[in-house]
A = this chain, B = another copy of it.
């Protein structure tokens, strides 16, 4: 890679490059290489181990879709847990909901938080919010040990390699289930249906061992390989379409991507994805 670009060299012979104006931050943490650049057209961008995590230009898509879909389905989300999400964007969207009294965030890598805090105010602005409780630590260990209960848990993880690998496993989801209240919802970063059908099938299958409702939903962004990307919604009973609080989104102000039509449409899956997940999708 030359200095003019930062690139994500994805497996399967596919590389995405973003032109760079300035390199802002580069740190080899205990867990991964964390880089922040100022790109020419996509704003500040965060990369972990060479994989694009955040661009200012389109981060709102991912963060709106991980947060507002479950928080507008849960009738009264008061206590929310974010696992990962060290840039702050997910917690920022969670805390737009006045019902949320506390958002607990457990990020394993302080370098991600520190770099974002210094260079990506668009997402890290949330760190001054008094309703946020930030813990630097291992989300897997936190879930295994905590006695707290949550209404909504958001697993805002990186890909299932390196530090995030156990976040895609059954022990973790057993603990997620245990720490959710009766009306609880979990949403997990669900990988790319184009390039990671097996990881997606595995995650949906594991979540289906615990939850009555398991429904993937999709969004498209500019920076993740292949564009199309998934979250997996799972709950103890709430249905992501039937139970959405109609009109409640209007109190939240402006969105870049989310709206009630997109909420509903995002659960419509392309045929290749349905085939890959056949037998695993659970409606109550």
For A254, the chain B residues whose CB sits under 8 A away are: 271
Contacts of A221 in B (CB 8 A): 227-228
CA distance A41 to B11 in the complex (A): 9
Bound Cα distance from A178 to B144, whole angstroms:
68
**Residue from B39, B227, B259, B268 in contact with A226 in the complex, judged by beta carbons closer than 8 Å:** B227
Given A13-B39, A265-B265, is A255 in contact with B227 using a C-beta cutoff of 8 Å?
no
Contact residue among B17, B228, B261 (Cβ-Cβ distance under 8 Å from A14): B17
| Complex-state Cα separation, A152 to B12, whole angstroms | 38
The answer to the question of A40 belonging to the interface, with a C-beta cut-off of 8 Å to chain B, is: yes
Q: Within the assembled complex, what's the spacing in Å between the Cα atoms of A236 and B58? A: 36
A257: interface (CB < 8 Å): yes
- Neighbouring B residues of A258 by C-beta, 8 Å: 270-271
A219 to chain B, nearest CB (A): 8
Q: A-B pairs with the 9 shortest C-beta distances? A: A227-B227, A13-B19, A265-B268, A265-B265, A13-B40, A261-B268, A12-B41, A220-B228, A15-B17
| Contact sample, A vs B, 18 pairs, CB 8 Å cutoff | A13-B18, A13-B19, A13-B40, A14-B41, A15-B16, A61-B270, A218-B220, A220-B226, A222-B226, A222-B228, A254-B271, A256-B271, A256-B272, A257-B270, A259-B270, A261-B268, A264-B265, A265-B265
Extra contacts, 20 of them, besides A17-B17, A227-B227, A227-B228 (Cβ < 8 A), are A12-B40, A13-B39, A13-B41, A14-B17, A14-B18, A14-B19, A14-B222, A16-B16, A58-B194, A220-B227, A221-B228, A222-B226, A222-B228, A257-B271, A258-B270, A259-B274, A262-B269, A262-B271, A265-B266, A265-B268
